[in-house]
Amino acid sequence: MLHKTCTTYLPTASPAHFYGMPDGNIYLIFSRFYNVAFDRSGLEFIFAVHKEFSFDYENDKILSRDRTKKLLPVFAETIDKPNPRIKIIETIRDLNSFGEALMHLNTKAENKLQTA
């Protein structure tokens, strides 16, 4: 895990987890409530890719893409910033914990590496 924050700029009151993966992307996992029915809610887990940062897996560094297209190393806390540019790739409602969400992310990463 690159970074975990309990208070985040993302649209949730739950923690957000940031992971650097071998494909060079930084993935976010956060949860939020959704309405199931009147007076009933459920929890959904959101999987997203950060569009402003990448990850150098071999050197264990977070890189920021500035406007000149240079890659600059940054501190982990920097990736949770106001108005983040993220792309939601999946929303799952049948997970029960961040542990299960992480297992799902790892499975997706393994499948992506095997098909590459």
The percent of residues above 70 in pLDDT, for the chain, comes to 96
Strand 25-37, strand 40-56: pairing: antiparallel
Tell which residue, 25, 16, 1, has the closest CA to residue 81: 16
pLDDT score, position 116? 63
Helical residues (DSSP H) of the chain, grouped into ranges: 98-115
What is the average pLDDT across 28-46? 89
* 102 pLDDT more than 80: yes
Cα gap 66→70, rounded to integer Å: 6
Query: In one letter, which amino acid is 18?
Result: F
What is the tens place of the pLDDT at every residue in 62-92? 998 766 667 788 899 999 999 999 999 999 9
